[in-house]
Amino acid sequence: MSSLGSVNEMKLRGSSVAGNYSAFRLFREGLRGHSGWQPAWQDAEPKDSYQVIIIGGGGHGLATAYYLARNHGIRRVAVLEKGWIGGGNTGRNTTAIRSNYFYPESVALYDFALRLYEGLSRELNYNVMFSQRGIVVVAHSEAEMEMAARVVNAMQINNTDAELLTREQVLEKVPLLNQGKDARFEIYGGIWQGRAGTARHDAVAWGYARAASALGVDIVQNCEVTGFLVENGRCVGVETSRGTIRAEVTGMAVAGHSGVLASMAGFRLPIRSFALQAMVSEPVKPCLDTVLLYMGTGTYLSQSDKGELGIGGGLDRVLSYGQRGNPPMQEQVISGLLEMVPAFGQLKLLRQWAGIVDVVPDSSPIIGPSPLPGLFMNGGWGTGGFQASPAGGWLFAHLLATGEHHEISRPFDLERFRTGRLIDEAAGSAIPH
């Protein structure tokens, strides 16, 4: 594994890309009316061919491009995004970052991502607003406490931080929780991971875009992939809304649209796409200083630095690519919120939306070669895609550069569905996806 270093030492290409950010530069630009800021990345025109094409300009795609250039010296790379970068699932999530999983393979993957997040702002010279405020997962019965204890034990054995909380400890961390006698979900205790937290979702995409562009990567927006070039049974490029682009290797990191791209390439994946409901409240004074999840309702929330509550819930089981969600699921998320904290009943919602997530039968991602030689996959993250962005990019870059798995990504190969070596996190850690 390559050592983590700083992007501050890289040479920025041309004067059209922003240089390093600093307090001194901020002060200097303030004196001259902030007239000297340059675009953070180049909006490139597509070339005829590249060494690597990455389909998808979200967190995973941009991170992959950055680590290809930084870790492997591969800079003839194009990131193709059908809209604008970060405009898909990356910009539609609820920002939580955690590694409270059950199986060793999952903990290794998500804890690697968490370690990368811990140094990411310095690495990219870009503030991704990573806040390690911790996460509390609340249990509501003796059976759920037994499950919580099992997950905590597994996490500790797998060398990540975890603590089993009593009822009193949960209420100490989140005093606003519903403690009334009429509470539908009684508080028995919970799981605490102190290193977990939140990050600014679009800042993660922008930071990786800036850093990748500075290393020579072409970021091509408004470039929709409409088909794949196949010669002698191998993928050698893509057809796009902006013409044909050839590549030695092609990778797709398109989140909820993995199945759509696979169909274009002529194969099927064990993936289904669902809408994941999210919403944001009006800003209020600081009242919640951690990420909060109820096992009973499946609702989770955190408070942003601006005071807004970011609220999310379970998957809408109506198969759809609609990015609004359905009213019954919206009602379910809001009712879950009010079960957790009745005091939030007077809050106004500012906006609501849904992100499209791709769900795999064992609730674990797929990283590896596709059935079409020359085409590789990074998908199936369900609701855990954003929190895995740095690790997903690092591991996918290793695969595209070498043709071989990193030791962390090997268990997540598509081959596991043939051998039966599944990583069933839905059963292991009771996650909804």
pLDDT in tens, 353-375: 988 999 999 999 999 999 999 99
What mean pLDDT comes out for the span 135-153?
95
- Residue ranges of the chain assigned to CATH 3.30.9.10: 135-196+273-359
Per-residue pLDDT at 4 exceeds 50:
no
The pair of structure tokens assigned to 70 is 């930084």
SS3 state of residue 135: strand
Q: Please state, in angstroms and rounded to a whole number, the distance separating the CA atoms of residues 151 and 187.
A: 18
Note the pLDDT of residue 314. 77
Question: Which structure tokens are listed for 201?
Answer: 């979702």
Structure confidence at residue 19 (pLDDT): 73
Structure confidence by residue, pLDDT tens digits, 50-97: 999 999 999 999 999 999 999 999 999 999 999 999 988 898 888 899
Q: Number of H helices and number of E strands within the chain?
A: 12, 18
Q: What are the phi and psi torsion angles at 315 (to 5°)? A: -75, 140
CA 63 – CA 166 distance, rounded (Å): 39
pLDDT at residue 14 tops 50? no
Give the C-alpha separation, 248 to 159, whole Å: 38
User: Structure tokens of 265?
Assistant: 């390439």
| β 77-80/49-55 pair status | parallel
- Give the sign of the dihedral formed by CA 402, CA 13, CA 119, CA 291: negative
Q: Which residues pair with 368 in a beta bridge?
A: 377
The pLDDT value recorded for residue 433 is: 56
CATH 3.50.50.60 domain extents, the chain = 41-127+200-270+362-429
State whether residue 322 is helix, strand or coil. Answer: coil
In which band, very low, low, confident or very high, does the pLDDT at 18 lie, cut at 50, 70 and 90? Answer: low
> Is residue 300 classed exposed, middle or buried when 0-12, 13-18 and 19+ CB atoms within 10 A define those classes?
buried
Annotate 170-193 with DSSP letters as a single string: HHHH-TTS--STT-SS---EEEEE
Q: For residue 310, what is the enclosing H or E element?
A: strand 309-316
pLDDT (mean) for 8-33: 68
User: 380: part of which helix (H) or strand (E)?
Assistant: none
Q: Which residues of 267-289 are buried (b: 16+ CB within 10 A; e: fewer)?
A: eebebbbbbbbbbbbeeeeeebe
pLDDT digits (tens, 9 = 90+) for 226-280: 999 999 999 999 999 999 999 999 999 999 999 999 999 999 999 999 988 899 9
Q: What is the pLDDT of residue 321?
A: 82
Take residue 57 and report the two structure tokens written for it.
């300009």
Q: What is the mean pLDDT of residues 126-149?
A: 95
Residue 8 banded pLDDT, cuts 50, 70, 90: very low
pLDDT for 431 equals 65
Whether the predicted pLDDT of 112 surpasses 80: yes
- Among the listed residues 282, 369, 286, 276, the one whose alpha carbon sits nearest the alpha carbon of residue 317: 276
- Percent of the chain, pLDDT > 90? 76
Helices (H), 315-405: 327-340, 389-402
- For range 391-401, the mean pLDDT: 98
- Average per-residue pLDDT in the chain? 91
Please state the rounded mean pLDDT for residues 147-152: 95
Beta bridge partners of 43: 219
Looking at this protein, which amino acid is placed at residue 421? R
Which residues is 351 bridged to in the sheet?
280
Indicate whether 325 pLDDT > 90. no
How many other C-beta atoms are found inside a 10 Å radius of the C-beta of residue 149?
14
Fold of 135-196+273-359: D-Amino Acid Oxidase; Chain A, domain 2 (3.30.9)
Q: Does domain 41-127+200-270+362-429 have CATH number 3.40.50.720?
A: no
